[in-house]
């Protein structure tokens, strides 16, 4: 297992060192808070970030597994297409935006505009989420164990949002649907896989009221 100390290092150096170190073994990165765009565009490998990470962690991730032991900045796993990103702490504004695939697990809380324009990823938040979460979502799943702020799922186009707690308000073009047996089984499987304590039976499901929310 190789360790990279990112303290005082820039993005180019750190990501280059990371790519060169991904040879089948996990790579540990320390002192990564100040690096923006760390582990960008990786297609494989396992990255462990000890401590917290900065903005745009795992942007364009295309297959790597990234684990952060503390918190992350804004725009976690932005535009991810494949892979898994797990954060043990909280994620600031906008985690999981523009993702086409992969899985994001945030064990703590997630900020506003999480999962905006999600196009296929599964995003699991163990705590609460902020406002406008799931805006313009087109595909994929967003699972919120805790509560949500204002305008949850605003202008939802396609995809499903599951929430265990309560929301402050729902956004446009949303409706609450009955949780099916398949939904419960899928949720329970995610919880077991990622060791999240929650009871799938108590979740509510939110889907788009219309598949064409903008024009008739």
Partner 1 sequence: MAVIGAFCVSVNREVCINSQMPGKCATCAQVCPHGVYALDLLTGEMDIQNYNTCVGCRICSEFCPVNAIRINPAEPEYITRYPWTFGAIEEIHYKAQTGEYLLRGFGTHGQTPNFDMITVVPSQIASTAPLDKYREECDMEVVIGEDTCEKPIHLKLPFVWAAMSFGALSKEAKMSLAIGAAMTGIAANTGEGGLLPEEAWLARGFTDSEMSRKKWEPGGYLIIQWSTGRWGVSVDYVNSGDAVEVKIGQGAKPGMGGHLLGAKVTDDVARVRGVPKGSDALSPCRYYDVQSLEDMKHMVAFLRDVTHYQFPILFKLGPSRPYADVAACIEAGADAISIDGMVGGTGCSPDLVTQGVGIPTIACLPPAVQALKDYGVHHKVKLIALGGIRNGLDAYKAMAMGADAVGFGSAAEIALGCRVCYACHKGNCPYGITSPKPEMRARLDPVEGGQRLANFIHATAEEIKILTMLSGHRATIELSTEDLRAMDLNTAALTGLKLAGYERSLPMWEGVFASSATPAGNGKNGKHVRQAVSKT
**CA distances for 6 relative to 34, 44, 138, angstroms:** 8, 20, 36
Q: Which of 2, 11, 50, 69 binds partner 1 (CB under 8 A)?
A: 11
Q: What is the largest CA-CA distance in the chain?
A: 56
Query: Does 93 interact with partner 1 (rule: CB under 8 A)?
Result: yes
Neighbours of 168 (CB within 10 A): 12
Query: Does 117 interact with partner 1 (rule: CB under 8 A)?
Result: yes
**Token code pair at residue 82:** 């494949």
Q: Compute the distance between CA of residue 146 and CA of residue 36 in angstroms, rounded to an integer.
A: 28
Query: Does 33 interact with partner 1 (rule: CB under 8 A)?
Result: no
Name the segment binding partner 1 (CB under 8 A); options: 22-30, 53-61, 142-150, 193-201: 53-61
Q: Which of 27, 136, 148, 206 binds partner 1 (CB under 8 A)?
A: 136
Tell me if 55 sits within 8 A of 34, measured CB to CB: no
Which residues of this chain interact with partner 1, rule CB under 8 A? Answer: 11-12, 15, 36-37, 40-41, 43, 55-56, 59-60, 62, 74-75, 78-79, 81, 93-94, 97-98, 100, 113, 116-117, 119-120, 135-136, 138-139, 157-158, 211-215
């Amino acid at each position: 297992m190789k360790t990279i100390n990112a303290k005082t290092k820039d993005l180019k150096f750190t990501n280059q060192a990371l790519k060169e170190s991904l040879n089948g073994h996990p790579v540990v990165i320390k002192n990564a808070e100040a690096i923006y765009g760390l582990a960008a565009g990786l297609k494989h490998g396992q990255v462990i970030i000890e401590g917290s990470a900065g903005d745009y962690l795992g942007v364009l991730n295309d297959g790597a597994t990234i684990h952060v032991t503390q918190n992350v900045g804004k725009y976690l796993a932005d535009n991810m297409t494949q892979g898994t990103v797990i954060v043990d702490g909280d994620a600031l504004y906008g985690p999981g935006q523009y993702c086409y695939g992969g899985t994001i697990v945030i064990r703590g809380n997630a900020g506003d505009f999480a999962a905006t324009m999600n196009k296929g990823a599964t995003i699991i938040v163990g705590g609460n989420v902020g406002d406008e979460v799931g805006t313009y979502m087109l595909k994929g799943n967003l699972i919120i164990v805790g509560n949500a702020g204002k305008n949850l799922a605003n202008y939802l186009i396609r995809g499903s949002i599951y929430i265990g707690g309560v929301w402050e308000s729902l956004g446009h073009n949303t409706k609450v649907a009955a949780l099916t047996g398949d939904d419960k089984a899928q949720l329970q499987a995610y919880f077991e896989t990622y060791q999240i304590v929650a009871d799938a039976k108590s979740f509510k499901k939110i889907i788009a009221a219309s598949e064409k929310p903008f024009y008739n």
